[in-house]
Amino acid sequence: MEHYLDNAATTKPCAEAAEAVVRCMTEQYGNPSSLHRKGLEAQHVMEHARQQVAAALGCKAQELLFTSGATESTNLALRGAAAAHGRKRKKIITSAVEHASVRQTLAQLEQQGFTVVAVAPDADGRYHAEDFLREVDGNTCLISMMLVNNENGYRMPVEETFRGVKRKDPEILTHCDAVQGFLKVPFRTRSLNADLISLSGHKVHALKGAGALYLRQGVRIRPILFGGHQEKSLRPGTESVPLIAAFGAAAEKLSQTVQERYEKAAQLRASLIAQLRTMEGVLIRDIPDASPYVLSISMPGYRSEIILHYLEQREIYISSGSACSKGASSGVLEAFGAKPAEVDSALRISFCAENTEDDIAALVQGLKDARQGLVH
Active-site residue set: 324
Residue 295 amino acid letter: L
Residue 146 CB, shortest distance to ligand PLP, in Å, is: 5
- Binding of residue 177 to ligand PLP (CB under 6 A): yes
Which of 7, 71, 152, 161 is close enough to bind ligand PLP by CB under 6 A?
71
Q: Is 46 within 8 Å of 243 (Cβ atoms)?
A: no
CA distance from start to end of the chain: 28
Residue 70 CB, shortest distance to ligand PLP, in Å, is: 3
Report the residue number, 273 or 324, with the smaller CB distance to ligand PLP: 324
Report the residue number, 298 or 319, with the smaller CB distance to ligand PLP: 319
Which of 53, 70, 213, 299 is close enough to bind ligand PLP by CB under 6 A?
70
Q: Is 348 within 8 Å of 322 (Cβ atoms)?
A: yes
Nearest to 323 by CA among 337, 308, 311: 308
Give the contact letters, 312-351, x = binds to ligand PLP (CB under 6 A), - = no: -----------xx---------------------------
Q: Rounded CA gap, 19 and 14, in Å?
A: 9
Distances (CA, A) of 5 to 10, 266, 267, 351: 10, 14, 14, 5
Q: Is 155 within 8 Å of 186 (Cβ atoms)?
A: no
Give the contact letters, 106-145, x = binds to ligand PLP (CB under 6 A), - = no: ----------------------------------------
Q: Among all residues, whose Cβ is closest to ligand PLP?
A: 69
- Binding of residue 224 to ligand PLP (CB under 6 A): no
Burial 293-327 (b: 16+ CB within 10 A, else e): bbbbbbbbebbbebbbebbeebebbbbbbbbebee
* 141-160: contacts with ligand PLP (CB under 6 A): 146, 150
Question: Which stretch, 27-35, 63-71, 277-285, 289-297, contacts ligand PLP (CB under 6 A)?
Answer: 63-71
Q: What share of the chain is helix, strand, coil (3-state, %, to 5)?
A: 45, 15, 40
Beta bridge partners of 61: none
Report the residue number, 43 or 180, with the smaller CB distance to ligand PLP: 180
Which of 52, 95, 101, 189 is close enough to bind ligand PLP by CB under 6 A?
101
- Binding of residue 250 to ligand PLP (CB under 6 A): no
Residue 322 CB, shortest distance to ligand PLP, in Å, is: 7
127 contact partners, CB below 8 Å, separation of at least 6 = 95, 119, 121, 154, 156, 157, 161
- Binding of residue 200 to ligand PLP (CB under 6 A): yes
Residue 280 CB, shortest distance to ligand PLP, in Å, is: 31
Residue 199 CB, shortest distance to ligand PLP, in Å, is: 8
Residue 180 CB, shortest distance to ligand PLP, in Å, is: 5
Report the residue number, 101 or 240, with the smaller CB distance to ligand PLP: 101
Which of 13, 30, 32, 69 is close enough to bind ligand PLP by CB under 6 A?
69
Beta bridge partners of 52: none
With 0-12 CB in 10 A as exposed, 13-18 as middle and 19+ as buried, what is 139?
exposed
Residue 74 CB, shortest distance to ligand PLP, in Å, is: 6
Backbone φ/ψ region at 153: left (φ over 0), alpha (ψ -120 to 50), beta = left
Chain positions contacting ligand PLP, by CB under 6 A: 69-71, 99, 101, 146, 150, 177, 179-180, 200, 211, 323-324
